[in-house]
Amino acid sequence: MADYQTITLDRRGSVAVITINRPDKLNALNSQVHIEGVDALDELRTDDAIRVVVITGAGEKAFIAGADISEFAEHTAITQRNSFQERTLFNTIDTFPKPVIAMINGFCLGGGNELALACDMRIGSETARFSQPEINLGIICGGGGTQRLTRLIGEGRAMEMCLSGDMIDAPTAHKFGLLNHVFPADQLEAETLRIAAKIAEKAPIALQLTKEAVKFASKSNLDEGLRREVDLFALCFSTEDKAEGVAAFLEKRKPVFKGK
């Protein structure tokens, strides 16, 4: 297991919790966070005991308050472009085969919101706040904000968030579809882990193929998506978990999925 400096990795049964651990910087994303976050996900990718990953931020003030702006001063156009063409944490989360849930406490701004957008679900506390404030620095989103946010909440709402840089609260984010659930701050962790554990009980291969199918929907037309769905649906019929799921249903018992 790697010795991480900017994150922590905690295994809780079949759920792993990655915590961005820079509370003094409101968990701002720097290059080391990206590197260590990618390494942690690579570690979890091949750990068959882990079926769901939760990502959160240390402390009560912030999930992630954006990118570490101090690094921007050192970057030229070319070095910044090159750094975002490498394996960023955003894209690693997006393409990670297992479900990833963002557990959002406090500020979720800029790159923090983009990281949450790369996750498969977002669960927030009532104190969570969201924005894409890059416009205030004379730049635009660079971690998927203009793309993933638009696909998630629609062009009009995404356009306003990206053009204004204004902050929205948790109820508004939930209404927009940015958040799946909102809970009181003192219940956020328990409720998020409850949802993660419920998902982790499902067949691991079916979880992976479901994620692949849903992600494909935003990148294809309906005909292509339906063809991909049928292919992935049929692929499930080659698994031991499909046989176990059907048998358990017919025998009126709880299935025991093994990821095979």
Domain ranges of the chain: 7-200, 204-250
Q: List the catalytic residue out of 43, 60, 71, 114.
A: 114
Tell me the pTM: 0.91
Active site annotation includes 134: yes
pLDDT top residue among 1 and 118: 118
Helices (H), the chain: 31-45, 77-85, 89-95, 111-118, 145-153, 155-164, 170-176, 188-200, 204-217, 222-236, 240-250
Q: Tell me, yes or no, if 36 is annotated catalytic.
A: no
| Cα–Cα distance, 52 to 203 (Å, whole number) | 11
With a cut of 80, say whether residue 63 has pLDDT above it. Answer: yes
DSSP helix/strand/coil, 26: coil
Over the stretch 67-98, which tens digit does the pLDDT of each residue have? 766 666 666 676 666 656 566 899 999 999 99
- The tens digit of pLDDT for each residue in 110-128 reads 999 999 999 999 999 999 9
The structural architecture, per CATH, of the domain 204-250 is: Orthogonal Bundle (1.10)
**Closest to 129 measured CA to CA, from 101, 169, 188, 100:** 169
Percent of residues, the chain, with pLDDT higher than 70: 92
Of 17, 13, 107, 15, the residue nearest 60 (C-alpha):
107
Query: Which residue among 43, 60, 74, 134 is the active-site one?
Result: 134
> Domain 7-200, what fold?
2-enoyl-CoA Hydratase; Chain A, domain 1 (3.90.226)
